[in-house]
Chains A and B, each alone.
Chain A
């Protein structure tokens, strides 16, 4: 671990026993002027999400663009095949039979929108992520069981290794750990 000694730490992380304590800690940290907060909980907690002031997700826009691209792809593909590349007379119907193009257009719209939703979610979450510093704290595994974690990033302007640790210890956590980067 000689590297950890030279490289600055990623964050300081406090462990709490209940969501109530975590919410209290978030409020106190914000009151103290910290802005680079991240919370980890075993299940989604709406209040935490609200307290951290999450901005609106970009995902709906990505899905919309995916759907529009899908609609045009499906329609133009059929148009190109049936009218330009390989025109076939089917029962005397016009080559550009828009009515029969609708089911495929609909399907590609759904396909592209759903694909954009999955890929967009991965991209916005920066997944796959083979390494994240928070897992350097052994007890962090409990974040998926029954413990609640609050991390203050070391890039926070108000961050100070010693003062921040004392501040977190003052919030009555189970313990405070340094997160190696």
Chain B
């Protein structure tokens, strides 16, 4: 409840030296993953491109979700957000690199997207959609999504860094003013992105709830990732004395809210399509309710919703950083299964099959992404030391 003070220079929060070691490990994982993925590309290019798309969307969800939560923090000014603002900023600053990593998807467009193949010319329905679903428009839109997100990520990061240097008390207001339209634009672009990258894998199918379903999932992915980073930092100086049970309690509450939001969208989409029972819509669910996919669907219901939901109800668990970290890890793993469940049945229209390239591309891209993220995280103080509300945030119970 204290009055905001202009500056709190008594404490500093330099990044711990352990981050260097972690970054090296991430690069090693990236090297192994990329080598395996390249081998896979020679052996089975089609499978490589498909696995790569799922892995890329998974890591993009974490980075883009962090940008959304960063803007949510600036808008709500909650004490919870100040402690993780630098983590969110670092993750959001990886977005331009993810744009570069999108290039292999463009190269293998025919292998993954039906509408990009020559035989799509014979499909009347796809022909009607060709104005929207064509290579040039697809690449152009992706560049716009990542460009606009990166613009907001770097704009907010720049102001946040200036706040560290000058302690200008008006900057937090400016970041808030940018975040208000930013969050709206973000949500709009993400729904379009979900339609382009995932829904168009099955160009005959459509669902108006698909975009927000993907959006809810991004919230979970980003928060789960941030909780794991916070847990790692909380075990080391200088953040060991800064994080307390109250902060993790807040992250747990937000994670629970996003789990419920994701479930709400998932059930809304299912309910509408199931009630209408139209042949062009229900087939998408029928594919996911038969063969091995049925088990992935059940897995998602149990471990993406039911178990995390019940566990996160407990306030003791949310205040216990390590226990919360386990739930976050489970949800992060489930995020991969969800993206896989959205994409993979549309590739083969058959039985469930895992390929070793799914893992190789996940590790390869994950290694690169984590190394880039840690590289960004290392460059700044782990807490915005000159934010007017920092004292209050550190004191949060």
Residues of A in contact with B (beta carbons under 8 Å apart): 60, 64, 91, 93, 99-100, 102-103
Is B313 a contact of A99 with CB atoms below 8 Å? no
Kindly specify which of B35-43, B80-88, B267-275, B374-382 makes contact with the partner chain: B267-275
Query: Which listed residue (A64, A91, A103) contacts B313, Cβ 8 A?
Result: A64
Task: Note all chain A residues with C-beta closer than 8 A to B315.
Answer: 60
Q: How far is the CB of A92 from chain B (nearest CB, A)?
A: 9
- Chain B 262-292, CB-CB to A under 8 Å as 1, else 0, gives 0000010011001101000000000000000
| Chief secondary structure at chain A's binding surface | helix
Given the interface pairs A60-B315, A64-B313, the reply to whether A91 lies near B277 with Cβ below 8 Å is: yes
If the complex has contacts A60-B315, A64-B313, are A99 and B274 also in contact, measured as CB distance less than 8 A?
A: yes
Top 3 A-B residue pairs of the complex, sorted by shortest distance between their CB atoms: A99-B274, A102-B267, A99-B271
Tell me, rounded to whole Å, the shortest Cβ–Cβ distance linking B271 to chain A.
6
Cβ contacts under 8 Å, A93 to chain B:
277
CA distance A180 to B313 in the complex (A): 44
- Cβ of B313: which chain A residues have Cβ within 8 Å of it? 64
Tell me whether A99 and B270 are in contact (CB under 8 A).
Answer: yes
- Residues of B in contact, count (CB < 8 Å): 8
A100 to chain B, nearest CB (A): 7
How many contacts between A and B, using CB within 8 angstroms? 14
Query: Which A residues are CB-close (under 8 A) to B271?
Result: 99-100, 102-103
CB 8 Å contact bits of B146-186 with A (1 = contact, 0 = none): 00000000000000000000000000000000000000000
Residue among A91, A99, A100, A103 with max Cβ neighbours from chain B (10 Å): A99
Residues of A near B277 (CB, < 8 A) are 91, 93
Besides A99-B275, A100-B274, A102-B267, 11 other CB < 8 A contacts?
A60-B315, A64-B313, A91-B277, A93-B277, A99-B270, A99-B271, A99-B274, A100-B271, A100-B275, A102-B271, A103-B271
Closest to B315 in A: A60
A60-B318 Cα distance, complex, nearest whole Å = 14
* B residues 116-169 touching A (CB-CB < 8 Å): none
Nearest to A64 among chain B residues (CB) is B313
A100 contacts which chain B residues (CB < 8 A)? 271, 274-275
Q: Which of B301-321 contact A (CB under 8 A)?
A: 313, 315
Q: Which of B360-379 contact A (CB under 8 A)?
A: none
Tell me which residues across on chain B come within 8 A of A99, comparing CB atoms. 270-271, 274-275
Residues of B close to A64: CB separation below 8 A: 313
A46: nearest residue on chain B (CB-CB)?
A: B397
Least distance between B393 CB and chain A CB atoms (Å): 17
A91 to B275, CA, bound (A): 10
A102 to B275, CA, bound (A): 12
In the complex, A93→B274 CA distance in Å? Answer: 10
Q: Give the nearest-CB partner of A92 in chain B.
A: B277
Closest to B274 in A: A99
Q: Which chain A positions have C-beta within 8 A of B267?
A: 102
* A contact residues around B270 at 8 Å (CB): 99
Q: Please, which residues of chain B bring their CB within 8 A of the CB of A60?
A: 315
> In the assembly, what is the distance between CA of A13 and CA of B150, in Å?
63
